[in-house]
Structure 1
Amino acid sequence: MSAAWIAPDWPAPVGVRACVTTREGGVSAAPFDAFNLGEHVGDEAAAVAWNRRYLAQALGCRPAWLSQVHSTRVVEASPGQVAEADASWSAEPGVASVVLTADCLPVLFCDRAGSRVASAHAGWRGLAAGVLEATVAAMACDPGQLLAWLGPAIGPAAFEVGEEVRDAFVSQHAQASDAFSPSLNAGRHMADLYRLARIRLAACGVLAVSGGGFCTYSDPRFYSYRRHSSTGRFASLVWLER
């Protein structure tokens, strides 16, 4: 694994591997420089293909890419097809569940037995609609036996949203009001995606949650759509060792 990439700090069992890529290490030209893994952002197809091949070789896994649409659909990870979904799970060693982000929240999962893994793409729409709950359900095991890790996303000091976003969460969980603070702009709020994810995971029984200390907007290691609308995507992957 590249020294520039991030190994999640979570108490995953032996045999569970995970990685978050950064902008470093690839061949994409500006403004996608350099390790863009998104095919849908306007980057050269050959550059993305090279980056994806390098990723698989460097990690020794088979990434199962998704076509992400801010939905709650969860599929079994399959490297042979690109499913339209925003989360996937795998119980097959060597097959990596992977999501792409550039401010949205990537969430990685595994069970304490080290028998299955999952990843979810949680922008505010997917988070409010229940993508994390759907992922937990798809893993088909006791939620109390799951571990979750919150990967790099836009931080609470940078994520300004409207009243409709606050209402979408508070209408479902009253305690979600704690995840919003007043913005300097009237009628706007600063939202904490990490706090919102923890509230929703706890509500469905997942209490062992790690991570949540990043901000893609302020950290130049990561792509950020709010910082630069024309930008790439980095990957968060989790898989079982062969």
Structure 2
Amino acid sequence: MHPLMQLIRPVWAAPEQIQVVSTTRIGGVSQAPYYSLNMGDHVGDRPAAVAKNRARLLSSLALPDAQWLTQVHGTACVEAQRDGVIREADACWTSETDLACVIMTADCLPAVFTDGERVAAAHAGWRGLVDGVLEATLAQFAGADMHVWLGPAIGPSVFEVGEEVRQQFCDHLAQSDDFFLPSVNQGKWLADLYGLARLRLSVAGIDRVSGGDYCTYSDKIRSDTAGLNKNHLDSARFFSYRREQQTGRMATLIWKTAR
């Protein structure tokens, strides 16, 4: 791994040949406001910087191939390929070894799935979550022995939404109301993306769900790494669209190694 790159790995009970990482904003070459490990090729960053960041990540993981997506806040789940084509979808899956399924986020929820044979990754913002992107991804599996990990997303204490968002979730599942609290701002609610995702997965019969331990909006860099680059590195460990608007994207990858 590149000496400055910081990656997050899940603590879960998936088979040992299943590998997962989520990037932070640390360890890349992009300049402000995308400083520094920006994986998003659609946010205004220099294409050469994004390409170098992606190559650096895959090289550090010894990964020969990855399926990158153009995400549209939808529910399509496509099969990952090794052809280098960037496909339009919000989830992808594969049963091949050493081929990573990749999604990008900067507050939305990254979710990865495996049954030990297949792996998948899904990008679940509130629109994709309410429309069923998790269920569409689960449809690529037989349903037995599933493991799901929820990567870094915006936390429930800061994710403010309007009444129309809460109503859409509650119209689909009445229990969704348990994951909204009134905001101090009239007519607004604080939504728990992690809780809403766990509810949808539970209704789908999936109970082995881990993760949900971060907040991309408010999480801070550890004090022992805060001095890596005092001229550019701020205190935020993750990119956050809600916090910065013009910002980069993290990547969450899942892949299967040979047994």
Same fold by TM-score greater than 0.5: yes
Name the residue aligned to 1:65.
Answer: 68
1:95-134 matches, cutoff 5 A: 95-111=99-115, 114-134=116-136
Do residues 74 (structure 1) and 77 (structure 2) align? yes
Q: Which runs of 4+ in 1 moved over 6 A?
A: none
* Alignment check: 8 A CA contact 1:65 1:79 kept: no
Paired residues in the alignment total 238
Q: Deviations over 1:72-116 (max 9, x none)?
A: 0000112421110000001100000110000000001111xx211
Name the residue aligned to 2:164.
Answer: 164
User: What is the distance in 1 between the residues matched to 2:79 and 2:202?
Assistant: 24
Do residues 22 (structure 1) and 38 (structure 2) align? no
Instruction: Give the deviation of 1:8 after TM superposition.
Output: 1.0
Do residues 227 (structure 1) and 243 (structure 2) align? yes
User: What is the distance in 2 between the residues matched to 1:74 and 1:26?
Assistant: 29
TM-score of the aligned structures, taking structure 2 as reference length: 0.90
Name the residue aligned to 1:137.
Answer: 139
* Alignment check: 8 A CA contact 1:24 1:35 kept: yes
Amino acid at match of 1:136: L
Does the residue aligned with 1:178 lie in a helix, a strand or coil?
helix
User: What is the distance in 1 between the residues matched to 2:176 and 2:163?
Assistant: 13
Do residues 34 (structure 1) and 36 (structure 2) align? yes
Instruction: Give the deviation of 1:172 after TM superposition.
Output: 1.1
Task: Please point out which of 223, 237, 241 is paired with 2:253.
Answer: 237
Instruction: Give the deviation of 1:138 after TM superposition.
Output: 1.6
**Contiguous gaps of at least 5 residues in structure 2:** 220-235
Does the residue aligned with 1:215 lie in a helix, a strand or coil?
coil
Amino acid at match of 2:168: A
Name the residue aligned to 1:89.
Answer: 93
Instruction: Give the deviation of 1:10 after TM superposition.
Output: 1.0
Amino acid at match of 1:34: S
User: What is the distance in 2 between the residues matched to 1:124 and 1:155?
Assistant: 13
* Alignment check: 8 A CA contact 1:162 1:188 kept: yes
User: What is the distance in 2 between the residues matched to 1:201 and 1:79?
Assistant: 29
User: What is the distance in 1 between the residues matched to 2:205 and 2:138?
Assistant: 9
Amino acid at match of 2:246: S
Does the residue aligned with 2:136 lie in a helix, a strand or coil?
helix
